[in-house]
Structure 1
Amino acid sequence: MYRIGELAKQCEVKADTLRFYEKHGLLTPSSRSDSGYRLYNDNDVERLRFILRAKAVGFTLAEITELLSIELDKSNWACADVKGLVDSKLAYVNERITELNHFQVSLQRLSDACCGGPESAEHCSILEALESNTDNIKCENHAHDHDASEYTKNCQSKG
């Protein structure tokens, strides 16, 4: 039997993490000592490791709860059910990657269009682009602290 600190140390997490998992119904101590300490057995260790591995690949607490319920009752579930959960999560991750790539390109355009100089932000291309209802990002005209020809070339390549 392991006390909460021992289990936390063995699995390289904080005791607060174990309490959090307990609060959300993912992990329950096998028993309590006479003095009220949480006590965990080897099955609890394996369950915690399952939770940590599922978390490490991106599953949410709700998804981990569902996976644990399948794990506890494997004979009444099909492999296709588990694959469906993974495929659904994979589709979500791919959507997020696409969205983040879009953010990256948009932010790079905003950054590239701005000189980043010490002038007033009254004519800042980033603020102007965010205020406008167009996708065009115009480069600022001042080329201070930059090689003017390189700056002009960068602006022209951005459209």
Structure 2
Amino acid sequence: MTNGHRIGQVAHRAGVTPDTIRYYERLGVLPRPLRTVGGLRAYGDDVVARLRFIQQAQALGLTLKDVKALLADEGRAGQQPCRRVRDLLKARLVEVDARIKDLRAFRRTLGRHLKSCERALQQDTPVCPVLTELGGRRQ
């Protein structure tokens, strides 16, 4: 790509919408582009790669705030930027581990409810134990 690409072109190449690009600009995750004489956005060569990085980071569970923090240190060498990235990733791992723990507990609860339903359905006139437990009984 050469300099001066329009928002629609960039959005198409990155697989996002123009509104997404404008939103990222407002948040400061994506730098504001130069403008043409007519006031249109003119994007440089690097914007598609940055958009893809943002998408990958979000797919890995990072927030846009996290991405902004990561990008603030982009291109900087040394221990301080690397420590910030490490600390951010550690914090996300703690959150992921907590979610996994919660999901496992929820899965056990769902399994118990499923077994209760299966037992109830073997009765001639079943009463759903899950609905009873939740305090409502559907007719």
TM-score by length of 2: 0.78
Q: Deviations over 1:63-120 (max 9, x none)?
A: 1111111225445724232112111111111110110111111012112211475x98
The CA distance in 2 between the partners of 1:21 and 1:28, in whole Å, is: 8
- Counterparts of residues 4-153 of structure 1 (less than 5 Å): 4-71=7-74, 73-75=76-78, 77-115=80-118, 123-131=127-135
Structure 2, unmatched stretches of 5+, are none
Structure 1 unaligned residues grouped into runs of 5+: 132-159
Structure 1 residues 89, 110: closer, same or farther in 2, change over 3 A?
same
TM-score after normalising by structure 1: 0.69
Aligned partners of 2:115, 2:132: CA distance in 1, in Å? 14
- Count of residues paired in the alignment: 129
Q: CA RMSD in A?
A: 2.4
Deviation at 1:128, TM superposition (A): 2.6
Distance in 1 of aligned mates of 2:35 and 2:52: 21
* Cα separation, 2, equivalents of 1:104 and 1:7: 42
Q: What is aligned with 1:136?
A: none
Higher RCO structure, 1 or 2 (CA under 8 Å, sep 6+): 2
Where 1:58 maps in the other structure, the secondary structure is coil
Aligned sequence identity (%): 36
Distance 1:31 1:107, change over 3 A: same
Tell which structure's C-alpha radius of gyration is larger: 1
Deviations 1:113-155 (A, max 9, x none): 11475x988x420023334xxxxxxxxxxxxxxxxxxxxxxxx
Output the CA distance in 2 between the equivalents of 1:37 and 1:104: 51
